[in-house]
């Protein structure tokens, strides 16, 4: 357990908790946490996860921009919404195909640890993060599935604190789903 892993842990918990509460500060704190975790993951040769953190910087900025835009009126935040079934199926199929491609590349061109598991969590984390930036309720269910797999990966790589973090993320994702579900038809004031 390194000091950087501890810092990433603390920042990440705060960022996800703020996201579940739909607080705009989730984005800048999230940017700080992903920068820290990019370094941690490079250290343990989880290259897909490290690359994911770099992409998260841009997705965090995108989410921050989207959330700063108001909802139907200046007095109401951007509302929580749902994804149509056909769109969800398309995202899952594209995610599975991308997982195979990234996993193959990592398995054949790098010394990556757990290349297909790492690729799958990376790809579906991108999907979940994009859905979160768009305030789509189903992002939380996808985060739960991804985070369960991450716990196993991080335990296998002896990143115990990070595995604990992703266990906490599972609980926070459940909390986020409940919060966003209750706000689905009752947008919050800006």
DSSP 103-157: HHHHHHHS--SSHHHHHHHHHHHHHHHHHHHTTBTTHHHHHHHHHHHHHHHHHHT
Rounded to an integer, what distance in angstroms lies between the CA atom of residue 182 and that of residue 178? 6
Beta bridge partners of 70: 77
pLDDT at 70: 65
pTM for the predicted model, two decimal places: 0.83
Domain boundaries along the sequence of the chain: 3-73+91-107+114-183
Q: pLDDT of 92-150, one tens digit each?
A: 999 999 999 999 999 999 888 899 998 999 899 999 999 999 999 999 999 999 999 99
């Amino acid at each position: 357990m390194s000091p950087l892993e501890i810092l990433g842990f603390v920042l990440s918990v705060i960022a996800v908790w703020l996201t579940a509460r739909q607080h705009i500060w989730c984005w800048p704190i999230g940017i700080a946490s992903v920068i820290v975790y990019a370094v941690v993951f490079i250290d343990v040769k989880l290259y897909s996860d490290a690359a994911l953190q770099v992409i998260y910087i841009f997705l965090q900025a995108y989410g921050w921009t989207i959330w700063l835009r108001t909802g139907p009126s200046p007095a109401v935040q951007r509302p929580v919404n749902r994804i149509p079934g056909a769109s969800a199926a398309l995202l899952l199929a594209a995610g599975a195909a991308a997982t195979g491609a990234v996993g193959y590349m990592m398995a054949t061109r790098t010394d990556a640890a757990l290349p297909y598991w790492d690729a799958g969590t990376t790809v579906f984390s991108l999907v979940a993060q994009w859905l979160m930036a768009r305030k789509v309720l189903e992002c939380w269910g996808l985060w739960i599935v991804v985070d369960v797999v991450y716990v196993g990966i991080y335990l296998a790589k002896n990143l115990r604190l990070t595995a604990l973090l992703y266990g906490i993320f599972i609980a926070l994702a459940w909390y986020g789903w409940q919060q966003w579900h209750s706000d689905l038809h009752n947008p919050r004031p800006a």
